[in-house]
Amino acid sequence: MQPRIADRFRGFLPVAVDVETGGFNAATDALLELAAVLIEMGPAGELRPGANFRYHVQPFHGSRMDPASLAVNGIDPHHPLRPAMPEKEALTQLFREVRKAVREAGCTRAILVGHNASFDLGFLNAAAARSDLKRNPFHPFSCFDTATLGGVALGQTVLSRAVAAAGLAWDPAGAHSAIYDAQRTAELFCTICNRFRFMYEDALERAPDLAGPEADGPAIDD
């Protein structure tokens, strides 16, 4: 039987997410760019990046934008040619795509993969709350952090250094673009998981009854 990603992560579908923001406080600072990369499983059980999604986001009313943060990510929130949409529209579109992927993979819920993932999840959750979106497909607090994985597997916690240490390409000119960082995060996550696959397979032999989705896990409807 062909391996399923639903069995690999207890029914969770990993989705790499990166946000570019106007600061560090998810409650007060603007979400300006949002990108996601689905993680999929190949026929031999290897993980690989899948479909990509990217959204330019309009700052919510009254949001704070620190000039220092804008200097780092290079975003001009008020540029007349910037194709930005309201937070609610961006999240609605992303959540729809993620729910569809969760169903097609036979999973029960998505789980965010991020570099310093609590930051990205915090902004995602805060924006969903502001938009009054009730059907957030992501686990509300659990996540996979590639800063931690990179430190354990490669001795590197900075994204660019971990990517290089893993033998993957890194373009400094692309850094701090949400889609670029999400793609590199997805590649790093897949590379580390694939290289640690022997540990997963050993665990399956020791405790086969623990494999697969949780029987009482939350389902994601349409």
Q: Which residues are catalytic?
A: 176
CA distances (Å), origin 75, targets 71, 115, 159, 170, 205 = 7, 20, 20, 21, 49
Burial class (CB in 10 A: 0-12, 13-18, 19+), 156: middle
Please report how the helices 178-195 and 146-154 are oriented relative to each other, as an axis angle in degrees rounded to 10. Answer: 50
DSSP letter at 58 equals: P
What is the edge-to-edge ordering of all strands in the sheet holding 47-56?
47-56, 31-41, 12-21, 109-114, 138-145
Query: How far apart are alpha carbons 159 and 163 in whole angstroms?
Result: 6
DSSP letter at 59 equals: P
